[in-house]
Amino acid sequence: MSANAARSIDDYLKQLRAALEGQDPALIQDALYDAEEYLRAEVAAHPGKSEADVLELIASTYGAPEEVAAAYRDTEAKVKAALKTPVPAAAAGASGWKRFFGVYLDPRTYTSIFYMLLALATGILYFTIVVTGLSLSFGFAVLIIGIPFFLAFIGITRVIALGEGRLLEAVTGERMPRRPVHPGPPAGWLKRIGEMLADARTWTTLLYMLLMLPLGIVYFTVAVTGLAVGLAFSSLPVLVLARWLGWANVTFSDDLHIGFWTVSEYSMVSALFLGALGVLILTLLMHAARGIGRGHAHLAKALLVVPG
């Protein structure tokens, strides 16, 4: 091994991080967590020995950073191949029509729409937690309970960051961490708080949680509007046909205004035209949802994972 043997846990983690350079940040977080957990347990299991003595044996038990990095890379490649959702056949075909409507076959489309609808609820929740947590932290700062309160508040945001990542991975397939951030060696409360305040990720996580409210409102509105208008329009031909055949007594209570064009009595022609418009709106919504899911996952990664 080219690198010098690590003499401390921090050293080892630094070498492991260097060996994983270029990998997905979520994978790096997982690997560092596992290694830190093992190393701290190993040091704690040998109270008589110094950290450097324990670390000397690590290369032959846990493995040198390069070996461990290789194991994570291999496993990741295998898991990715196994879990990858098959690309719908339409996406492979070059035809524009097939690609346009192929979005209906992609499971990610539907999970993304689900996420957009859910985002309003989670957005309100996250925003409330951050605003309440921050203001109470300031308020309690002069009291003795200010310290544990702030630690608990930041702890909760980390759990939420992990949970949000798991949800987004399920929805969009973007690789997100499966382990939280390792809290590091046991330390005094004030030292802990100092570390949290100095950690850029603490602040980007809070920013993400605040951003979720406006984003959640936009996502929810787009999804509900698109679904309502698209489904209503695309069902018109069926309703008008049912009325024409006398199967159902459908009455349309309101005139429909689109620009200068007013539809008051729905003929089959206008219903077919509006039906096609509805399908177009639905399909565009599907594309938008998939794009929003992908974009949002990248935003989440940039704010919740990368700054670590």
Partner 1 sequence: MDDSQARKFQKDLNAGLVALVLLAVLERSPEDLYGYEIAKRLQKVNEGEALFKEGTIYPVLRTLAAGGLLTSRVVPSYSGPPRRYYRITDEGRSLLAQWSGIWRQTRGFVDRFIEGTDL
CB atoms within 10 A of CB 247: 10
**C-beta of 168: minimal distance to partner 1 in Å?**
16
Could you say whether residue 83 binds partner 1 (CB under 8 A)? yes
**C-beta of 41: minimal distance to partner 1 in Å?**
4
Among the listed residues 6, 28, 29, 42, the single contact to partner 1 using CB under 8 A:
42
Among the listed residues 146, 155, 183, 308, the single contact to partner 1 using CB under 8 A:
183
233 token code pair: 């329009």
Is the dihedral angle over the CA atoms 129, 134, 138, 140 positive or is it negative?
A: positive
Residue 28 CA to residue 26 CA, distance in Å, equals 5
Residue 129 CA to residue 164 CA, distance in Å, equals 14
Could you say whether residue 10 binds partner 1 (CB under 8 A)? no
Q: What are phi and psi of 85, to 5 degrees?
A: -70, 130
| Class of residue 146 by CB neighbours under 10 A (exposed 0-12, middle 13-18, buried 19+) | middle
Among the listed residues 29, 32, 54, 62, the single contact to partner 1 using CB under 8 A:
62
**C-beta of 111: minimal distance to partner 1 in Å?**
17
**C-beta of 127: minimal distance to partner 1 in Å?**
27
Could you say whether residue 80 binds partner 1 (CB under 8 A)? no
Size of the site for partner 1 (CB under 8 A): 29
Residue by residue, DSSP assigns 4-50 as PPP-SHHHHHHHHHHHTTTS-HHHHHHHHHHHHHHHHHHHHH-TTS-
Among the listed residues 14, 40, 99, 243, the single contact to partner 1 using CB under 8 A:
40
Could you say whether residue 178 binds partner 1 (CB under 8 A)? yes
Contacts of 213 (CB under 8 A, 6+ apart): 123, 124, 126, 127
Could you say whether residue 30 binds partner 1 (CB under 8 A)? yes
Decide whether 60 or 251 has the Cβ nearer to partner 1. 60
Q: Max Cα separation, the chain?
A: 90
Please report, as ranges, the residues that interact with partner 1 according to CB under 8 A: 30-31, 34-35, 37-38, 40-42, 44, 60-63, 67-68, 71-72, 74-76, 78-79, 83, 178, 180, 182-183, 186
